[in-house]
Amino acid sequence: MKEKRIYNFNAGPACLPLPVLEEIQASFLNFNGSGMSITEISHRSKWFDDVINDAIARTKRLLKLDDTYHVLFLQGGASMQFCMIPMNFLADGRTADYVNTGTWSTKAIKEAEILGKKINVVASSEDRNFSYIPKNIQFNSDATFVHITSNNTIKGTQWASFPDTKGVPIISDMSSDIMSRPLDVKKFGMIYAGAQKNIGPAGVCMVIIRDDMLKLIPKNLPAMLKYTTHSDKNSMYNTPPCFGIYTIQLVMKWLEETIGGLENMEKFNQKKAALLYDFMNGSDFYKATADPDSQSLMNVTFRLPTEALEKEFIKQSIENDFGGLKGHRSVGGCRASIYNATPEGAVDALVDFMKTFEKKNG
């Protein structure tokens, strides 16, 4: 067993803030004097009521959400939302616009098509292997919503600013960059995020949904697949993923009380990403795969001169306690995921390792 923690650059499940892990460890056998673990207490108890309500309150404060927004914690991950969104919002001949920026957008589009819903793919970056975020998109004024993926873990691209949809609500999959920066939430009818990349462990999906979207939901859907079922019951229609929600609560506390809010978090993330991108921009050995104006602050994807060198880079990185630097199996290459919880020191250490590897192999 390792006596020390590695530098964790996994894309998800990903690193969590060390103070959060330490608080979980300290309270795990006896949560808040209950004599039970958080994994054992009743979800109907006051102990858990306090957890979920605090998680919601902190989320609302961090994102500056008013009372027209509901914060839900669902199971099934972001992938479940790919079908729930068209089921809930595209009844009665309604249409929606989708922007395709890579794997997760493609999956969301496919789910809507499987359901026979009318959608328009109004922009795509597939022509250049999803290496950029489309610009100057012409959205349809009669669309019920516009669906985007705010950050693309596999291709390493991110919306630097969100599109002007002329008042059409945006629904965004923010699984990999939620809580990484402030948002103008008025643009969004719904935000959803699998927790395991930036705010918690696998097994829970955060859904932030506005009142006007809830009014679109038809009654003839299975109970578990209706957002109103969960908003009406404060995410406790059935037994929720208690441990995941508890961890999210602690991450929100860390963001509020240790980081000092999303403005500070954004500055910290910009600084970490700049360390990597600036180094690679000055190197002929490492090449970022995304266009400069579309590069993600969360997932830095890059290639080396040959696949053989990439394999050796991954091998040596593991030997030197750098985890998760292998690119997604669908694209190859390398990837450093530098989410909120990744400390600056980890990025400094990675750049030093990359310099040493280039010197020996360049």
Catalytic site residue from 117, 173, 177, 254 = 173
Q: 158 — phi, psi (to 5°)? A: -150, 145
Q: Would you call 179 exposed, middle or buried from its count of C-beta atoms within 10 A (0-12, 13-18, 19+)? A: buried
Q: Annotated catalytic, 60?
A: no
Q: Annotated catalytic, 173?
A: yes
Q: Annotated catalytic, 135?
A: no
Catalytic site residue from 117, 197, 272, 326 = 197
The residues near 233 (Cβ < 8 Å, ≥ 6 apart) are: none
Which pair of tokens denotes residue 236? 């406790």
Q: Is the alpha carbon torsion for 123, 125, 128, 129 positive or negative?
A: negative
What are the strands, taking DSSP E only, across the chain? 7-8, 69-74, 95-100, 118-124, 146-149, 151-152, 157-158, 170-173, 188-194, 205-210, 287-288, 299-303, 322-323, 334-337
Could you tell me the CA-to-CA distances from 308 to 314, 326, 358 in Å, in that order?
A: 10, 13, 14
Rounded distance, CA 159 to CA 175, Å? 13
Which DSSP category does 335 fall into?
E
Q: Smallest Cα–Cα separation from 286: which of 317, 310, 322, 316? A: 310
Catalytic site residue from 104, 159, 177, 226 = 104
- Looking at the annotation, which residues are catalytic? 104, 173, 197
